[in-house]
Amino acid sequence: MSGQLNYWRLARDGEDIAWLTFDRAGESVNTLSSAAMRELGEVLDMLDAAPPRGLVIQSGKASGFIAGADIAEFGQVSDVAGARALVERGWALFNRLAGVAYPTCALVRGFCVGGGTELALACRSIVAVDEPGTRFSLPEVMLGIVPGWGGMLRLPQRIGLPAAFDMMLTGRALDAKRARKLGLVDDVAPARLMREHARACLLSGRPRRALPLLQRLLSGPLRGVVARKAAEGVARRVSRMHYPAPYAIIEIVRDFGGNAQALPDAHPASMASLVSHPTTANLQRVYHLRERLRAIGKDVDTGGGTLPPVRRVHVIGAGVMGGDIAAWCALRGLTVTLQDQGIERIAPAMQRVAKAFARKFRQDRKAVRAALDRLIPDPTGAGVAGADLVIEAIYENLDAKQSLLRDVELRAKPDALFATNTSSLRVEDIAAGLQRPERLVGIHFFNPVDRMMLVEVVRGAASADDAVRRAAAFVAALDKLPLPVASSPGFLVNAALGPYMLEAMKCVDEGVPSEVVDRAALDFGMVMGPIELVDTVGLDIAIAAGARLTAGAAAPACLLRHAAAGQLGRKTGRGFYEWKDGRPVRAPLSAVPEGLGRRLVEPLVAVTRRCVELGVVADADLADAGLIFGAGFAPCTGGPLHYDSCNTATDGKTT
């Protein structure tokens, strides 16, 4: 039987349980191509002819279960017929799987994404392997589409409508334990016993855990109320003009029972409407840009090759950035020593980290303790001697950074890599006092470290190729996106953000309210408004960075006025906005002037183009990736240079 299959392996054990293994030949991950799904249908034909006692579906890939649909095939869908065929393919197949007479179980180890999660939901039970990489997600909204293969129908049935909306509207992933708590997963098993757990779950005959009464009400009679609340939350983040997919998910669940096939093609929530929307193509572009950045660091051999791996990190500077960098490294399994001038300066960072780890791991005290044990306070800097990587994250002063690194060089291992987290100074200037300046690179994290995926890997004039490659591999190992840039004032992201924020504050000086400026940017598709961004960064930092990056140009009057009054933004509770509970308090919104959004982004586009021309970044695609993932430039446009060349986006007003 299995000899006839190219994508799946089918075998039966002594208990007449069928084990179906998905293993695409020549691929590192499993994706649900049209050929793979057609072959799955053939497998179901075989099993219909000779029904097993039960069926377990598992992956033959060490990397994970299923990475969703084949993105290359999806990118070729551009018309109504193709969109309808795409939905029909998965909807019919997974309905067939859900309706077989014998019990079925999805045994999930590693990532389970998109169509993979929808396939698992079509099984009667799901067993998840208790490993950090086991995660379930429905991220279709991030590609401008909807989970059309049954996810919108079956996920609310398993975990309730509010939690289902949260997953589908954000693309947020659930780990195995959280999935078990919500009811998405029926059992969590250790890897060594996963087959036994799958077999037991398959043969137990236990019915699926019923939703609590409140969840049944929210998913049934009160579905309209839940949908309205979800729509209100989406509207606060994005407009339908630029991001129709989350609105489509809500409407398909509310009005069509989660069946994407039930919509007429002309309906704005239909798959046909979504695939023809410019945002969908642009979000696919963003996906490919993200994958390109990931490949930059993951293609580097640091295990058995010429580059030694980074296992021990020493961070100097326990402020917000240094403390958070150290915390993220420890969270990702590295041993970290954190240095500052006395334990009293390190203590606040350790307290902040402890709270963050407790939130991250919730009730898992063992995981919290393990992560905290990897982060070691080090006021004397003893950790320098054993570190594979030393990261300098002190204040932006050239003399101080040079002096610090000269001392580090005397005590560090000969093969240790040095990095500076500077945001505006040139790497070669910082390296000027080193005996071996080729060891120093820039590794520029963005604030907040735990949420910002992009990290600029900065090549100084003397930086060795291996040092840059090793830094990129380190960033990738942290599950961040490395962007190689040349040493230049502000590098790429800050160089482009400065003129953008400056233009926004010029508008405020001209009498445009802060709320209107930010609304114009959000209507354009930006992730955050520029005035809120200034408040988040800090007005004092904005003034200092502006002086370095604009050759002494006069700062906006509104910026100087707030700073003189001690109103430095979020950290002081007041800046352009008053801040309460970590959020800006906004005045009622007045009309947004036509064209304001375009005016705001034009300086950013111009600087980004100049950075490509000057070789700060290698090409326009990488520049777009940097501004999307490092500055929140409107993903719906495909990036600033793509937007500029295609001229498809508008400054639009919310409709």
Catalytic annotation present for 444 = yes
Specify the CATH number of the domain 494-646: 1.10.1040.50
Query: Is the omega angle on the peptide bond into residue 448 within 30 degrees of 0, that is, cis?
Result: yes
Residue 655 has pLDDT above 60, yes or no: no
- Region(s) of the chain under CATH 3.90.226.10: 2-276
Q: What is the dihedral of CA 448, 452, 454, 460, to 10 degrees?
A: 0
- Section 37-47 average pLDDT: 96
Catalytic annotation present for 118 = no
Q: Which two tokens stand for residue 559?
A: 């910026």
Residue 417 has pLDDT above 50, yes or no: yes
Q: What's the confidence (pLDDT) of residue 305?
A: 55
Nearest-angstrom CA–CA distance, 331 and 370: 9
Nearest-angstrom CA–CA distance, 431 and 392: 12
Most confident region among 355-364, 436-445, 533-542, 644-653 by mean pLDDT: 436-445
Nearest-angstrom CA–CA distance, 354 and 338: 14
Catalytic annotation present for 514 = no
- Region(s) of the chain under CATH 1.10.1040.50: 494-646
Going by their DSSP bridges, the two strands 64-66 and 111-113 should be labelled as parallel
Nearest-angstrom CA–CA distance, 340 and 314: 11
Angstrom CA distances, 359 to 4, 367, 545, stand at 49, 11, 33
User: Strand pairing partners for 10?
Assistant: 20
Q: What's the confidence (pLDDT) of residue 71?
A: 82
- Region(s) of the chain under CATH 3.40.50.720: 298-487
Specify the CATH number of the domain 2-276: 3.90.226.10
Instruction: Count, in order, helices (H) and strands (E) of the chain.
Output: 27, 20
Of 68, 58, 155, nearest to 109 by C-alpha is 58
Please, which pLDDT band fits residue 180 given cuts at 50, 70 and 90?
A: very high
- Section 20-45 average pLDDT: 93
The one-letter code for the residue type at 604 is L
Look at the domain 298-487 and name its fold.
Rossmann fold (3.40.50)
Q: What's the confidence (pLDDT) of residue 304?
A: 47
Of 172, 312, 165, 310, nearest to 252 by C-alpha is 165
Of 198, 95, 107, nearest to 154 by C-alpha is 95
Q: What's the confidence (pLDDT) of residue 371?
A: 86
CA atoms within 13 A on the CB side of 625: 27
What tens digit of pLDDT does each residue of 72-84 get? Answer: 887 777 677 888 8
Catalytic residue among 239, 423, 424, 487: 423
Residue 381 has pLDDT above 50, yes or no: yes
Please, which pLDDT band fits residue 339 given cuts at 50, 70 and 90?
A: very high
Residues 6+ apart with CB under 8 A from 539: 559, 562, 563, 567, 568, 569, 575
Residues 6+ apart with CB under 8 A from 589: 515, 516, 519
Q: What's the gap between Cα 101 and its chain centre?
A: 39
Q: What is the dihedral of CA 358, 364, 370, 372, to 10 degrees?
A: 10
Residue 654 has pLDDT above 50, yes or no: no
Nearest-angstrom CA–CA distance, 115 and 129: 19
Catalytic annotation present for 423 = yes
Nearest-angstrom CA–CA distance, 378 and 349: 12
Nearest-angstrom CA–CA distance, 519 and 593: 10
Top pLDDT among 209 and 417 is at: 417
Q: Which two tokens stand for residue 604?
A: 């950013």
Catalytic residue among 197, 444, 562, 642: 444
What tens digit of pLDDT does each residue of 210-226 get? Answer: 899 999 999 989 999 99
Catalytic residue among 392, 494, 532, 562: 494
Nearest-angstrom CA–CA distance, 308 and 305: 8
Neighbours of 99 (CB within 10 A): 8
What tens digit of pLDDT does each residue of 489-511 get? Answer: 889 999 999 999 999 999 999 99
Catalytic residue among 392, 456, 503, 515: 456
